């Protein structure tokens, strides 16, 4: 990366060409992922060629993320996006619900026997419903009311001031586990609900979660994110020690989540300030330290370019995979810190990360982004040639162009008003 101050004197985000590039890349992603729509309802994961994977059925997390992404696109004036968001809302309101026990299933019940209830999943049902509500998608407001009620009664723990993780079928047994990932996306959801529903108490919940996970646990460990806890919130450092590559709950610390948390903390700071609320001094300090720690641990620690997926508690790589979402979150965080501080350090990383994504992940031959690469930057044989995720990449083209507050859906709705 160049250290030339003159070259950085004008930020990319101040140039019309960069805004045009971001908009064009976002539109290309939206067009590619339209192919994930199932005629039978909901959305399914795509293969690398843009076709639905053989035997795939409606997936609740993907469908929730599609409601969110195409809801955002509808508010920007993308033809056809509202219909796709409504398609997602219909599936979340019917096909993917657990009509027997309440809540939402992980996938089309005809395709899975898993009837557990997962907090992470419900957060994406709610995020999709919140964004679609802001976009005026039919059925979204009712769905949002219903899923928020489930989250408040089943997953938010007032005594713990955090989100619990999962229940067995029929809500019979609460897991003796607490997760950093689901609580991180809980913060994302809290920010959305505070603005879409104009309910500022969600900001109090977001701050409580951040204080526990980051200020109390990550900060004393050199800002490595603690992902796994026992039910009493004692640290579970050996969880999935044999699975450093696990897609959602891997062993060790995940630098990509460090970037994601740091950005969400800047959004929380801005949201509190916008409502005239007191902002604790540690919030920005911890966010900035978290960004730097994620760079320290994540970027090329094995000598190969790019961000590794996971590291152990000494900061050594555990999983050397290069995942697209990690890089998307890193650049979104760099853009957020650039907005917040104006410092050239963040401009350099913002440019460097986009350059790396452009040459490594964007698939100009087939469309979309490569999503799971190994340390040689080849398609990861353990994952295969897949492109199931629009959400991270698309948000990376949006977030740098928007203010840190209000929340994303409201900011998009206000963008041209």
Active site residues: 257, 392
The 3-class secondary structure across 196-265, one letter per residue, is HCCCCHHHHHHHHHHHHHHHHHHHHHCCCCCCEEECCCCECCCCCCCCCCCCCCCCCECHHHHHHHHHHH
Longest dimension (CA), the chain: 63
Backbone angles phi, psi at 201, to 5 degrees: -65, -20
Q: Burial code of 248-280, b = ≥16 C-beta within 10 A, e = fewer?
A: ebbbbbbbbbbbbbbbbbbbbbbbbeeeeeeee
Backbone angles phi, psi at 179, to 5 degrees: -120, 135
- For 43, the 3-state DSSP assignment is strand
Q: Could you tell me the CA-to-CA distances from 130 to 72, 105, 140, 409 in Å, in that order?
A: 11, 19, 7, 8
- Spatial distance between the Cα atoms of 93 and 414, rounded to a whole number of angstroms: 27
Q: Could you tell me the CA-to-CA distances from 223 to 168, 259, 293, 364, 403 in Å, in that order?
A: 32, 11, 6, 36, 26
């Amino acid at each position: 990366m160049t250290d030339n101050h003159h070259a950085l004197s004008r930020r990319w985000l101040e140039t019309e060409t960069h805004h045009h590039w971001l908009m064009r890349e976002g539109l290309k992603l939206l067009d590619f992922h339209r192919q994930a729509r199932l005629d039978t309802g909901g959305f399914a994961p795509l293969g690398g060629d843009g076709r639905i994977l053989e035997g795939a059925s409606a997936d609740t997390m993907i469908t929730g993320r599609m409601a969110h992404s195409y809801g955002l696109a509808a508010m920007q004036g993308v033809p056809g996006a509202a219909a796709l968001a409504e398609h997602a809302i219909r599936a979340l309101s019917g096909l993917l619900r657990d009509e027997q026990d309440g809540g939402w299933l992980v996938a089309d019940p005809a395709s899975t026997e898993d009837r557990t209830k997962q907090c992470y999943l419900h957060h994406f049902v709610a995020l999709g419903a919140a964004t679609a509500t802001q976009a005026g998608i039919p059925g979204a407001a009712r769905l949002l009311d219903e899923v928020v009620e489930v989250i408040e009664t089943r997953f938010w723990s007032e005594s713990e001031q955090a989100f619990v993780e999962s229940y067995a079928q029929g809500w019979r047994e609460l897991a003796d586990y607490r997760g950093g990932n689901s609580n991180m996306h809980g913060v994302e959801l809290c920010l959305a609900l505070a603005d879409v529903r104009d309910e500022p108490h969600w900001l109090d919940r977001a701050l409580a979660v951040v204080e526990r996970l980051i200020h109390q646990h990550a900060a004393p460990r050199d800002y490595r994110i603690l992902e796994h806890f026992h039910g009493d919130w004692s640290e579970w450092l050996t969880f999935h020690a044999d699975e450093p590559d696990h897609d959602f709950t891997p062993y060790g610390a995940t630098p990509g989540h460090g970037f994601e948390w740091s950005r969400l903390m800047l959004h929380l700071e801005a949201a509190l300030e916008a409502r005239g609320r007191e902002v604790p001094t540690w919030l920005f300090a911890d966010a900035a330290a978290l960004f730097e720690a994620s760079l320290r641990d994540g970027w090329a620690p094995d000598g190969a370019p790019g961000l590794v997926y996971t590291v152990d508690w000494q900061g050594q790589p555990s999983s050397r995979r290069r995942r697209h979402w990690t890089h998307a979150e890193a650049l979104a965080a760099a853009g957020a810190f650039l907005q917040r501080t104006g410092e050239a350090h963040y401009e350099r990383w913002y440019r460097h990360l986009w350059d790396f994504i452009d040459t490594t992940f964007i698939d100009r031959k087939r469309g979309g982004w490569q999503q799971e690469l190994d340390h040689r930057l080849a398609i990861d044989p353990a994952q295969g040639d897949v492109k199931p995720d629009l959400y991270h990449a698309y948000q990376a083209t949006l977030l740098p162009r928007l203010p840190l507050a209000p929340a994303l859906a409201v900011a998009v709705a206000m963008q041209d008003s």
